[in-house]
Amino acid sequence: MKAGEHLPDDQAEIVFNDVFVEYLEGLNVQDRESVLVEVLSLCRRPGGSHPLSNRNSGDRLAGWNTVEVLNREHRVVFASRIESGVGVIEVLCAGPRRADAAYDLANSLIATGRLTPDEVTEIWQALALLEVIAEEVGLDGWDYRPPPAPAGMIKTAVAAGLLDEHTAQLLSKDELEAALENGWGEQGPDPVAAVRAALNRARTGVDVGDLTRVLGDRATDRCGAILPRAGAACIRKLGHPGAHRSSP
């Protein structure tokens, strides 16, 4: 995409080539988060710094874009497009600006066919792998609704007095298992402890104030955009900013 063009609702399915994830792993925490913030900003300005072209007959860079990061000392090579009405940002690689290192790496990856789905990681999976909290890079890591737990587990949790049916239906299988295991106090079932245990299974660092908001967000309508790479519907809440998210 070119400068001035926009993705639908400034949203996109963002995927990283494994080589880009390896690049992020090699950065310190502050630089890693800085690069991720710049990549997420591509949802609002998918043209990046400028489009690439083939510098010579051996190049295959046409159709890719670049965005400058880390005080313009590094470049990220990516493609942005709209597929079936849904924005897609595919991040290929990154590297220092000196000697066009990022461009040479991009050419090598394209030439060797390193663009297969098996070598692509959704941004949410990368955040977990890199131990980056979504909120630290401007995302809401809680506004998604996972697939529900089996009906029998839901009935068990409700019958035990751990959760009401509406809340139990908003939890995943893993989260409900955590509620069943850890939602007990000295007096028996403890619904607050059950919900906290469930959400801690999803991500650590949940406080009591998060519980109502997270469950409230999960109860709202879903985005539902069908993601071209994942082949699944976005499970974030309707109207979310930035990156789409498929089922974890």
Q: Give pLDDT, residue 208.
A: 57
CA distances from 197 to 101, 179, 194, 245 (A): 46, 5, 5, 23
**Cα gap 198→175, rounded to integer Å:** 4
Report which of 163, 239, 237 is spatially closest to residue 196, judged by C-alpha positions.
163
Domain ranges of the chain: 8-137, 151-219
Query: In the numeric block, which tokens belong to residue 248?
Result: 């974890």
Which residues in the chain show pLDDT less than 70?
A: 205-209, 248
**Cα gap 81→242, rounded to integer Å:** 15
Look at residue 86 and give its three-state secondary structure: strand
**Cα gap 211→116, rounded to integer Å:** 39
Q: Give pLDDT, residue 209.
A: 61
Q: Give pLDDT, residue 128.
A: 92
Q: Give pLDDT, residue 99.
A: 80
The residue behind tokens 């000392």 is 73
Look at residue 124 and give its three-state secondary structure: helix
> How does DSSP assign 136-162, residue by residue?
GGT--TT-B-PPPPPHHHHHHHHHTTS
* Sign of the dihedral defined by the CA atoms of residues 216, 219, 225, 231, in that order: positive
Q: Give pLDDT, residue 60.
A: 81
pTM value is: 0.90
The CATH architecture assigned to 8-137 reads 2-Layer Sandwich (3.30)
Q: Give pLDDT, residue 153.
A: 97
Question: Where on the phi/psi map is residue 138: left (φ > 0), alpha (ψ -120 to 50), or beta?
Answer: left
Radius of gyration of the chain (CA): 21
